[in-house]
Amino acid sequence: MQYRTLGRTGVQVSTLALGAMNFGAIGRTTQDEATAIVDAALAGGVNLIDTADMYSAGESETMVGKAIAGRREDIVLATKASMPMGEERNHQGASRRWLITELDNSLRRLGVDHVDLYQVHRWDPKTSDEETLSALTDLQRAGKIRYFGSSTFPAYRIVQAQWAAREHRLSRYVTEQPGYSILQRGIETHVLPVTEEYGMGVLAWSPLASGWLSGAVREGREINTNRSAVLPQRFDLTRQVNRTRLEAVERLAKVADQAGLSLIQLALGFVVAHPGVTSAIIGPRTLEHLESQLAAADTVLPSDVLDAIDEIVAPGTDLAPEEKHDTPPALLDASLRRR
């Protein structure tokens, strides 16, 4: 396993981080299975575990807490908040009221007295940066969080938040967690240049492109129903965007074969090759998945392989731009762009 400094914090984290989204109902993973995955990940050198309050409505945090009991100090523990937690209108967002309340809920579920990294899961356009940053700064000063970061923020919001922190003399976001893979390279255009400018750590989620780069989605193979149950449109091969992705996957598989690598090793090696990326977050549902992903822990792609990838998916290109989660609200809601 390789290790890098998380932004400018001085904290050393593994280049593969364990994402716990599949723990609980979402991945139908039991506590025993989750604990076994955590055990194997830690044995493989992983020291960063990332979860969120809304993963299986808190069940993921509870499972992570039980799995790490007795070894908390050896783990860089991260969680997130701001996505809806139930139907109550104020049980979401990045207001002081909700972040303080929900952090206490997360600490209770995790069974810890602090988290190392607390992340705003999505930008909340209804809440000012000053409101959010002042709440997070107070939580940091209270010792409940060590650092805080953003997740899936568009580049202009990252810049605005950095400016607001300086303007109001508050602590700042020290990390960003964007989606990034060979098939979704859009953050190379704006987000990564900004995070590098501000010295932010970058934890890339979905480095296997929701399973497209796992080796399981190939021409002529039936799509596993477990993979397509949540978002079936992502694997509907009657859609042109998915045919384009499949064609890219077939070409990438040949590059991997010629390099003596699995497709997973190629995909994860690509993400951590970018100098702006700190860690790639893997989200195994089973021990078998984890083992295949840990095999990429020491993968370093040579320049000719990276050049071959660039020829298949051009730098800065998203093959499925409609699946991005950082689109400005006015592009999604017509009422926000018309008087």
* pLDDT tens readout for residues 235-294: 888 899 999 999 999 999 999 999 999 999 999 999 999 999 999 999 999 999 999 999
Domain boundaries, the chain: 3-336
What is residue 230's predicted lDDT score, i.e. its pLDDT?
A: 59
What is residue 84's predicted lDDT score, i.e. its pLDDT?
A: 97
CATH of the domain spanning 3-336? 3.20.20.100
**Residue 218 clears pLDDT 90, i.e. is over it:** no
Structural tokens at position 21? 């989204």
**Residue 227 clears pLDDT 90, i.e. is over it:** no
Say which DSSP state 24 is in: B
Q: Where are the beta strands (DSSP E) in the chain?
A: 3-5, 12-14, 16-19, 48-50, 76-81, 115-120, 145-151, 175-177, 201-204, 279-282
What is residue 228's predicted lDDT score, i.e. its pLDDT?
A: 46
Stated as kind and residue range, the H or E segment containing 117 is strand 115-120
Structural tokens at position 41? 């990940």
Q: Quick one: average pLDDT of 45-66?
A: 98
Encode pLDDT of 83-128 as tens digits. 999 999 999 999 999 999 999 999 999 999 999 999 999 999 999 9
Q: Is 188 in contact with 316 (CB distance < 8 Å)?
A: yes
What is residue 331's predicted lDDT score, i.e. its pLDDT?
A: 82
In the predicted model, what is the mean pLDDT of the chain? 94
- Res. 224 pLDDT band, cuts 50 70 90: low
Is 173 one of the catalytic residues?
no
Encode pLDDT of 156-207 as tens digits. 999 999 999 999 999 999 999 999 999 999 999 999 999 999 999 999 999 9
CA 283, CA 21: separation in Å to the nearest integer? 7
- pLDDT exceeding 70 applies to what percent of the chain? 98
**Residue 225 clears pLDDT 70, i.e. is over it:** no
**Residue 322 clears pLDDT 90, i.e. is over it:** no
**Residue 310 clears pLDDT 90, i.e. is over it:** yes
260: left (phi over 0), alpha (psi -120 to 50) or beta: left
Exactly one of 3, 55, 118, 156 is catalytic; name it. 55
Residue type, 313: V
Q: Is 209 in contact with 267 (CB distance < 8 Å)?
A: yes
What is residue 219's predicted lDDT score, i.e. its pLDDT?
A: 81
What is residue 154's predicted lDDT score, i.e. its pLDDT?
A: 95
SS3 at position 102 = helix
Q: Is 208 in contact with 264 (CB distance < 8 Å)?
A: yes
What is residue 78's predicted lDDT score, i.e. its pLDDT?
A: 98
What is residue 325's predicted lDDT score, i.e. its pLDDT?
A: 81
